[in-house]
A and B are shown apart, each in its own frame.
Chain A
Amino acid sequence: MAKSSTAKDALALIRSLRSAYAATPTNLKIIDLYIVFAVATALIQVVYMALVGSFPFNSFLSGVLSCVGTAVLAVCLRIQVNKENKEFKDLPPERAFADFVLCNLVLHLVIMNFLG
């Protein structure tokens, strides 16, 4: 009885989250998709490292950190371009995107140097 009620509650929670998320602007949804892609790639690499060992450790680090860095930068972008967020209301979204692009360029330059 209790079990079925918790399952129902969970289902209701997911449903409400989904309906709330449907109201999210498209550009934020694109960013979310991008973050999910980056985090998934990082997880795959960690699993791979656990399987084959950490031999080219620098390559592993740069592979995972490129994903983590990308995700972090994307989250930062999402915070800055979110209309709901009043903290950055003075910052134009174009400026936020330019920062994002610059940071990504630096990140990938470093990653390429460390990849080995």
Chain B
Amino acid sequence: MNPRMAPRMQSVVRFLSFLACAIPFVAILGLSFSPENPTDRRILVLVDDLAIKSSHSIYFKSLQSRGYQLDFQLADDSKIALHRYGQYLYDGLILFSPSIERFGGSINTAAIAEFVDSGHDLIIAADESASDLIREVAAECGVDFDEDPGAVVIDHTSYAVSGTDGDHSLIAAGDFIKSAAILGSKTVEAPILFRGIGHSVNPANNLVLKVLSASPAAYSANPKTKLANPPAIYGSSISFVSIVQARNNARVLISGSLKMFSDQFFLSGVLKAGSPIKHKKSGNEQFLTEISKWVFHERGHLKAVNVRHHKVGEVDEPLMYRINDDLEYSVEIFEWSGASWEPYVANDVQIQFYMMSPYVLKTMSTDQKGKYHASFKVPDVYGVFQFKVEYQRLGYTSLSLSKQIPVRPFRHNEYERFITAAFPYYGASFSMMAGFLVFTIVYLYNK
């Protein structure tokens, strides 16, 4: 071998060995959450008791079969941590530990709030034994569990008939939010079994949505004592399951019942009081599976790409527009289906041409393949404008695009000259000049 080639060969070998090390590493990174692949992958499940792993196995299996890596830990384990060396170890957190008074390790309410603030997802399930800590975490998300420690939701009209239970705290709920993005396209036929505490959502907080509400006859009280005072929350203001989509598109699910996730409730039949139909299986499995798809970004996650704008008849994007230019704007919107980006088809995506207020607000036409298009005339006003797409729909992540573009007035040589309609005015002006000359001559030379 040529001795001068040796060092180059060596560097090639070194590069190949680097690649061999790097490829698995890249593959691991690819599994986690990213803007290109927004479904969560690594999920920390905090439980009070590892028995929940088997008593709620159907729910966990459905998550695992969809590709989630669940990491079960006791909530008071001193080694648990959400992040290490500035990196989050998990994309999602499931709190199935209603009675925990204090988390182990570095986790506390602030750490969980920060976890959500950095765009990660959260599922909280409480029950009758909900601790102050869990109530505090829920309050951070904008829902308030009934403060009475012994209170559960009681409903004497839409309870589930069962042999043992006489206090009507096992509820057959069916008052869902109307959104295919959140609950899936298939409607949940069977009632949802619920036994636990109710919560109310702050009406001023428009990020929280009630997904499963109580019937108007429900109330929250302690079934073992006589009802002395009016219940704190009652009627359809009681929410069984609520969701939050934060402004950073992090999603949170809050439920007042841990039991509704259990195998027992998933598999048991349900006969709603007063209803002739006995369902062989409750709607819990379908409902909770579909909503977990939403929470972990398998559904309703939008992205906008290929924002383009140009003058009509041109291709390149200009640095600025002139007033009264005709322009075309297009953007492509895709929805994440859990495995790939599918075209998002809607007829209500609007473009704004915005300077302090929208000068142009137009619904974009779609080609049914995810591409949205609008053409309009730049208003007769110059200044610094923005192309804005603000798209916020129930169950979908919010899209907020803005692109700044200046609009200039006509240049001096762009004005129209020698307009036919203006010829009389030109004539008048010139005749005034000629008149001035004639007048001067006549005035000076008379006498």
Interface residues, chain A, CB within 8 Å of chain B? 26-27, 30-31, 34, 37-38, 41-42, 44-45, 48, 52-53, 55-56, 59-60, 62-64, 66-67, 70, 74, 97, 101, 104, 108, 111-112, 115-116
Docked Cα-Cα span, A55 to B444, in Å, equals: 40
Docked Cα-Cα span, A30 to B438, in Å, equals: 11
Contact A108 B425 (CB under 8 A): no
Find chain B residues with CB under 8 A from A115 CB. 425-426, 429
Docked Cα-Cα span, A108 to B436, in Å, equals: 10
> Is B442 interfacial (CB-CB < 8 Å)?
yes
Interface of chain A: mostly helix, strand, loop or mixed: helix
Contact A45 B425 (CB under 8 A): yes
For residues 410 through 430 of chain B, which have their beta carbon under 8 Å from a beta carbon of chain A?
415-417, 419, 421-422, 424-426, 428-429
Docked Cα-Cα span, A115 to B430, in Å, equals: 10
Which chain A residue lies CB-closest to B440? A101
Among A31, A62, A74, A104, which residue has its beta carbon within 8 angstroms of that of B425?
A62
Contact B429 A112 (CB under 8 A): yes
> Is B432 interfacial (CB-CB < 8 Å)?
yes
Find chain B residues with CB under 8 A from A112 CB. 429
A-B contact count (CB 8 A): 79
Contact A45 B428 (CB under 8 A): yes
A45-B425, A48-B424 known; 7 other A-B pairs, CB under 8 Å? A26-B447, A27-B443, A31-B443, A38-B435, A42-B428, A59-B419, A111-B429
Find chain A residues with CB under 8 A from B426 CB. 59, 63, 115
Contact B428 A108 (CB under 8 A): no
> Is B439 interfacial (CB-CB < 8 Å)?
yes
Find chain B residues with CB under 8 A from A70 CB. 432, 435-436
Among B417, B422, B432, B440, which residue has its beta carbon within 8 angstroms of that of A108?
B432
What are 16 A-B pairs with beta-carbon distances under 8 A? A26-B447, A30-B439, A41-B428, A44-B424, A44-B428, A45-B425, A53-B421, A55-B419, A59-B425, A63-B429, A64-B428, A67-B428, A70-B436, A108-B429, A116-B415, A116-B417
Contact-residue bracket for chain B: 20 to 34
For residues 388 through 434 of chain B, which have their beta carbon under 8 Å from a beta carbon of chain A?
415-417, 419, 421-422, 424-426, 428-429, 431-433
Smallest CB separation, B422 vs chain A (Å)? 4
Contact B446 A67 (CB under 8 A): no
Among B416, B432, B444, which residue has its beta carbon within 8 angstroms of that of A66?
B432
Find chain B residues with CB under 8 A from A74 CB. 439
Find chain A residues with CB under 8 A from B424 CB. 44-45, 48, 63
Find chain B residues with CB under 8 A from A62 CB. 425, 429
8 closest Cβ contacts across the A-B interface? A63-B425, A59-B422, A56-B422, A59-B425, A63-B428, A66-B432, A66-B429, A34-B439
Smallest CB separation, A40 vs chain B (Å)? 10
Docked Cα-Cα span, A85 to B424, in Å, equals: 37
Contact A97 B443 (CB under 8 A): yes
Find chain B residues with CB under 8 A from A48 CB. 424
Smallest CB separation, A80 vs chain B (Å)? 13
Contact B436 A104 (CB under 8 A): yes
Docked Cα-Cα span, A108 to B446, in Å, equals: 25
Find chain A residues with CB under 8 A from B435 CB. 34, 37-38, 70
Docked Cα-Cα span, A59 to B430, in Å, equals: 12
Find chain B residues with CB under 8 A from A44 CB. 424, 428
Which chain A residue lies CB-closest to B443? A30
Asked if A66 meets B440 with Cβ closer than 8 Å, knowing A38-B435, A59-B422, A116-B422, the reply is no
Find chain A residues with CB under 8 A from B428 CB. 41-42, 44-45, 63-64, 66-67
- Chain B 5-29 against A: per-residue CB contact (8 Å), 1 yes, 0 no? 0000000000000000000000000
Smallest CB separation, A43 vs chain B (Å)? 11
Among B419, B432, B447, which residue has its beta carbon within 8 angstroms of that of A56?
B419
Asked if A41 meets B431 with Cβ closer than 8 Å, knowing A30-B439, A60-B425, A108-B436, the reply is yes
Find chain B residues with CB under 8 A from A31 CB. 439, 443
Which chain B residue lies CB-closest to A105? B436
Docked Cα-Cα span, A34 to B432, in Å, equals: 10
Docked Cα-Cα span, A110 to B431, in Å, equals: 15
Docked Cα-Cα span, A70 to B435, in Å, equals: 9
